[in-house]
Structure 1
Amino acid sequence: MRATLYYRGSLTSCNYACPYCPFSKNVDSRETLDKDRVQLERFADWVREQGALGHRLSIFFNPYGEALIHSWYRRTMVEFSHMAHVEKVAVQTNLSAKLDWAKELNPATAALWATYHPGETKEQAFISQAMKLYELGISYSVGTVGLRQAFPAIRSLRSQLPKDVYLWINAYKDRPHYYTDAEKAELAVIDPYFQWNLQDYSSLGRACRAGEDVFYVQGDGRVKHCYQDRRVIGHLYRDGLEGLSAKRPCRMKECGCYIGYIHMEEQPFREIYGRGLLERVPHR
């Protein structure tokens, strides 16, 4: 089976204090960090075994917190990137960690989804990190939340990043009708796919690959249908991919999260992003 796995362990700590994030400046105990490391090691053991079973995997790390400041995520990303049966390993990150380790990544399979948080880091420090990835030939996207106070930073990022680095803007949807028509037009020039993220998608009863060949894995091995439809559909280490896989129409009224709606079968996102679907890099 060719499968995509989103992995989220027990980590809930971040070194940033973004006001829109519930996990900003949360400090995990040593016990929680050790639990998260052990969980990831178990997941890595499972991944190693899947090649002999004929499975091809794409893996995305998106913990409730910043992963790459922890050595076990860095080691695991490097190892996965060199596995013959792993087609992609990607991570959601604020790019605050040193990137010396990234030289060990296989640029053919490793990728980063890098989020810029104005006010949490200096712009030039973030640009410097992004350029290091560019020089290493590692696929990555850069983005930020489209709050009005972030507009100057968004414009500045676009002017400084290489033209072939995709800059995405997460639409701020907590307030209805937040953007004027002029603002939407400006943001769409910077991010040609902004309009796709600006809307929520009617999803109730509609076909989605979540639960069929896309799985949302928790650190303890439980697998959820997705991060919005949180029903548990099985256990990774007990059921395996074949035991988990089934067509499961969505139970949610709407889907407004990128890592959810990109897997809706009637939507065009697999064609738009191609091999860059996980790290949010459009096919060119």
Structure 2
Amino acid sequence: MKAALYYRGSLSSCNYDCPYCPFSKNKDSAATLAKDREGLEAFVDWVREQAGMGHVLSIFFNPYGEGLTHRWYRNAITELSHMAHVEKVAIQTNLSARLDWTDALNPAKAAFWVTYHPGQTGESQFAAQCRELYRRGIPFSVGSVGVKSAFQAISSLRRALPDDVYMWVNAFKDKPDYYSEADVDYLRAIDPLFDRNLTDYESTGRDCDTGYNVFYVQGPGIVKRCYKDRQVIGSLYRDGLEGLSKRRPCRMKCCDCYIGYIHMPELQLASLYGDRMLERIYR
């Protein structure tokens, strides 16, 4: 079975303090960090045990917080990138951690989804980290939330990055009618796929690959169809992929986030991203 697994553990803290993010206000206790490490190590153990089972896996880490400042995430990504039955391993990161550890990665399988947070890091420092990834040959995309106060910073970063690095912009949707036509044109010039993210897709009852060959795994192995759908469909460690896999129409009113709508077959977004859809690299 070919499947994509999103993994989110117990981590709920970050080294940044973005005003729009609730997790920037948290500081995890030693017990929570230990729980997060144990859950991640159990997940990697399970992936390792799938060798020879006929599965081809792509794995994406999207923690509530910054994972790469913790050794167990760096170790997990490194090990997974060398497993024959793992096609890809990627992580969402603010890229604030050191990068020397990536020497041990298999760059043919590892990828980074990098988020820029103006006000939390300087452009020169952040762009230098991006150029270091580029120098090391590790695929990555870069993006930011398209709040109006960040327009200038986003545009400036675009100019600072290599031309062949895709930069995406997440539409700010907390306020209705937030963008003028001029705003949309401005952001579209940075991200040619901005309109795709700006759209809220009607999804109730629609076909979706989540729950079929895409699964959202939480720390102890709890599996949900979609990161927004709270219904638990089973346990990764008890049921396995075959026991979990079932066509499940969407139960949500709309799908408005990239990691959700890319799995709606009717949108045919693989035609834009190819085999880089998970890490959001537009070819």
Conservation of the 8 A alpha-carbon contact between 1:224 and 1:233 = yes
Partner residue, 2:8: 8
- Give the aligned CA root-mean-square deviation in angstroms: 0.7
On the 8 A contact 1:112/1:139 being kept in 2, the answer is: yes
SS in 2 for 1:13: coil
Q: Please give the alpha-carbon distance, in whole angstroms, between the structure 1 residues aligned to 2:19 and 2:267.
A: 32
Which residue type is aligned with residue 145 of structure 1?
A: V
Aligned amino acid, residue 97 of structure 2: A
* Aligned-residue offset at 1:25: 3.6
Match of 1:183 in 2: 183
Matched AA of 1:41: E
**CA distance in 1: counterparts of 2:160 and 2:221, whole angstroms:** 41
> Per-residue deviation at 1:52?
1.4
Per the alignment, in what secondary structure is the counterpart of residue 7 of structure 1?
A: strand
1:156 corresponds in structure 2 to 156
- 2:17 corresponds in structure 1 to 17
Query: Is residue 86 of structure 1 aligned with residue 86 of structure 2?
Result: yes
Letter in 2 for 1:133: L
- After TM superposition, the structure 1 stretch with the greater mean CA deviation from structure 2, 81-90 or 267-276, is 267-276
In 1, Cα distance between equivalents of 2:101 and 2:279: 19
TM-score norm. by structure 1 comes to 0.99
Q: Paired residue for 2:260?
A: 260
Q: Answer whether contact 1:200 1:254 (CA < 8 A) is retained.
A: yes
SS of residue paired to 1:238: helix
What code does the residue aligned with 1:42 have?
A: A
Matched to 1:270, the amino acid is: A
1:248 aligns with 248
**How far does residue 108 in structure 1 lie from its aligned partner after superposition?**
0.5
3-state SS, counterpart of residue 23 of structure 1: helix
Question: Which secondary structure state, in structure 2, belongs to the residue aligned with residue 195 of structure 1?
Answer: helix
Matched with 2:169 is 169
Structure 2 partner of 1:238 = 238
What's the counterpart of residue 220 of structure 1? 220
Do 1:202 and 1:253's aligned partners in 2 also have CA atoms closer than 8 Å? yes
Distance in 1 separating the partners of 2:138 and 2:10? 27
Residue of structure 2 in register with 1:129 after alignment: 129
What amino acid is aligned across from residue 70 of structure 2 in structure 1?
H
Q: Does 1:114 align with 2:114?
A: yes
Q: Is the Cα contact below 8 Å between 1:82 and 1:105 reproduced in 2?
A: yes
Q: Whole-Å Cα distance in 2 between the matches of residues 84 and 248 of structure 1? A: 30
Higher alpha-carbon deviation: 65-74 or 178-187: 178-187
Q: TM-score, normalised by structure 2?
A: 0.99
Secondary structure in structure 2 of the residue aligned to 1:206: coil
Q: Which residue of 2 is the match for residue 36 of structure 1? A: 36
How many residues were matched structurally?
283
| C-alpha distance in structure 2 between counterparts of 1:47 and 1:168, whole Å | 30
Alpha-carbon distance, 1:245 to partner: 0.1
1:75 Cα offset (Å): 0.5
3-state SS of the aligned residue for 1:154? helix
Look up the SS of the partner of 1:24 in the other structure.
helix
- Whole-angstrom CA distance in 1 between matches of 2:113 and 2:29: 26
- The answer on whether the counterparts of 1:5 and 1:60 sit within 8 Å (CA) in structure 2 is yes
SS where residue 90 of structure 1 aligns? strand
Once the two structures are superposed, residues 54-100 of structure 1 have per-residue CA deviations (whole angstroms, 9 ceiling, x without a partner) of: 10000000011100000000001011011111001000000000000
Distance 1:13 1:172 in 2: 22
Distance 1:35 1:222 in 2: 15
CA–CA distance in structure 1, aligned partners of residues 33 and 159 of structure 2:
38
- For structure 2, the residue ranges without an aligned partner over 5 or more in a row are none
Partner of 1:240, secondary structure, is helix
Unaligned runs of 5+ in 1: none
Query: Over residues 129-163 of structure 1, what are the superposed CA-to-partner deviations in whole Å (9 max), with x where a residue is unaligned?
Result: 00000001100000000001101111101111000
- Distance in 1, Cα, partners of 2:13 & 2:31: 13
Using the aligned pairs only, state the percent identity: 65
CA contact (8 A) 1:15 1:25 kept: no
Partner of 1:49: 49
